[in-house]
Every structure is written in C-alpha cells, then in structure tokens.
C-alpha cells in the first residue's frame, strides 16, 4: 500500500466559456499563475495570430488543410467553427496531463463543451462567464485594441447567441471585477476537487486512519 497520507485524485476537465471579451482569458491566466495543479489546454486554430500572441502558448496556429487532417486522423478531442475560423483541442496533451494527475483548463466555446461533455460527463466541470452589461462587453473588446471595428462588431453580434447557452453550464460567474471573479472560479475548482467521487484514494486513507495511531 502507498503512503496513506496521499489521497489520489482523478484529474478534472475544467471548461471556461464566455462571449468573446467577457474576461475569461484574464481569469484563466490568473488561475494558472496561482495554482500548480492545473494546466491549460492549448488549442489549435486557423485564425491569424493577434499582435502579442505567442505561437504554441496562446494557440497553435495552422492552416485549414492541416487542421482538417488532424480532425480526420482523430487527433482532436473536439473542434468547432467560430467566427469563420476553425478551433480545436488536440487530444494527446490533455490525456497526458490527466494521466499525470493534473487538471486541465479549457477556453472553448459551447460547441466544444457539448462535445467533451458527451465523452467524459463525470470528469467535466463547466463555468460560463457573463459580462455585467453589453456596454461593458463592447468596451472591453475595444480596449483590447487588437481587432478591427469589423471584427469587434462581428464578436458583439455573436454574443447573444453564445450567451443563450448558459443553461448548459454547471456554474455561472458574472465578471464585474476580475479579482472577485478569479476568487469565485478558484472556489469552484477547489470545491470540485474535494468531491468524494474524485478522491479515488479515500478508501485507503480512511483505512489507514482507522488502523491508527
Ligand atoms: P479567440 O479568437 O477570441 O481567441 O476565440 C474565439 C472563441 O473560440 C472563444 O469563444 C474561444 O473560447 C473559442 N475557442 C478557442 N479555442 C477553442 C477550441 O479549441 N475549441 C472550441 N470549440 N472553441 C475554442
């Protein structure tokens, strides 16, 4: 028997979705900086790189031909077309992290969340981030200053549709204040990690306790 004080835990898949500009990238970066037990799934996309983005860190950038090849080879855990570009989650790094006992965070849309949910229902925890108002959403998209007016308008026009999927998520956080939202999302993560059925080593741990001293 292993060390009775180590309670093994099944890794969980932690999904954050929101309309573009609601703040989930900022929130996810903060969580990664504060928590060593969760890693980010780096998506592959066919959309052009934005100024300031780092290939291999923010996204793996590719073209449509290569993307479709990856899909056909069964290398994507999920994928979707968003704003006319393809986005997908490569399967292998996610499985490797989960097997190593780490949790994995995903910044994906509702289409991807539905696909992952179908295959791993119990190990998926989903959080939807809402903006406090549409005016605030637009202002955040504009101050990001990386996208043209046309792109901002297209993202704004997609937001109501994206937000209509909030009932499919386990938790909802309205992002009024980044610090408050990070604390709330961390609280969700902490509570979900403590669920009895995720702590697979509990039986041995309690046996050790009972055998004392
Ligand atoms: P952006 O272009 O602003 O980085 O992302 C646009 C949208 O695509 C966001 O809602 C983001 O969550 C979503 N997205 C990013 N990566 C993936 C992915 O791998 N799969 C899916 N389904 N959506 C993604």
Q: Is residue 109 in contact with ligand 1, taking CB distance under 6 Å?
A: yes
Give me ligand 1 centre to Cα 55, in Å: 15
What is the pTM assigned to this prediction? 0.92
Could you give the strand order of the β-sheet that contains 103-107, starting from the edge strand earlier in sequence?
A: 38-40, 103-107, 13-17, 124-130, 171-174
Q: Ligand 1: which residue has its CA nearest to atom 24?
A: 108
| Per-residue confidence (pLDDT) for residue 5, from 0 to 100 | 52
Give per-residue pLDDT as tens, 134-162.
999 999 998 876 778 888 898 899 999 99
Q: For residue 132, how far is its CA from the centre of ligand 1 (angstroms)?
A: 21
Q: From the alpha carbon of 41, which atom of ligand 1 is closest?
A: 19
> pLDDT tens digit string along 32-54?
999 999 999 999 999 999 888 99
CA gap 80, 70 in Å, rounded: 13
Concatenated DSSP letters of 3-17? -TT-------EEEEE
Which atom of ligand 1 is closest in space to residue 113's alpha carbon?
22
Dist. CA 183 → ligand 1 center (Å): 23
Do 105 and 33 contact (CB within 8 A), yes or no?
A: no
pLDDT at position 101 is 85
Question: Which residues of the chain, if any, have pLDDT below 50?
Answer: 1-4
Residue 2's pLDDT is: 39
Enumerate domains of the chain plus CATH numbers.
8-41+102-208 (3.40.50.300)
Kindly state if the Cβ of 47 falls inside 6 Å of ligand 1. Answer: yes
Q: Report the pLDDT value the prediction gives residue 3, as an integer from 0 to 100.
A: 40
Q: Quote the mean pLDDT of the chain.
A: 92
Provide the pLDDT for residue 6. Answer: 60
User: What is the pLDDT at residue 150?
Assistant: 87
DSSP conformation letters of 37-74:
TEEE---EE-SPPPTT--BTTTBEE--HHHHHHHHHTT
Specify the ligand 1 atom closest to the Cα of 80: 22
């Amino acid at each position: 028997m292993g060390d009775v004080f180590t309670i093994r835990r099944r890794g969980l898949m932690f999904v954050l979705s929101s309309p573009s500009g609601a703040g989930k990238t900022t929130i996810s970066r903060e969580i990664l900086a504060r928590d060593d037990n969760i890693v980010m799934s780096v998506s592959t996309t066919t959309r052009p790189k934005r100024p300031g983005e780092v290939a291999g860190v923010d996204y793996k950038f590719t073209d449509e031909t290569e993307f479709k090849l990856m899909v056909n080879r069964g290398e994507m855990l999920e994928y979707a077309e968003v704003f006319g570009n393809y986005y997908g989650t490569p399967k292998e790094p996610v499985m490797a992290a989960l097997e190593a006992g780490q949790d994995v965070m995903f910044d994906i849309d509702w289409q991807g969340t539905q696909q992952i949910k179908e295959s791993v229902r119990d190990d998926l925890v989903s959080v939807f981030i809402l903006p406090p108002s549409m005016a605030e959403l637009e202002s955040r998209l504009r101050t990001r200053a990386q996208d043209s007016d046309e792109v901002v308008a297209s993202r704004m026009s997609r937001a109501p549709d994206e937000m209509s999927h909030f009932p499919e998520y386990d938790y909802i956080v309205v992002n009024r204040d980044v610090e408050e939202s990070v604390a709330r999302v961390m609280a969700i993560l902490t509570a979900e990690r403590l669920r009895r059925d995720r702590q697979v080593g509990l039986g041995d741990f309690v046996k050790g306790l009972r055998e004392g001293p």
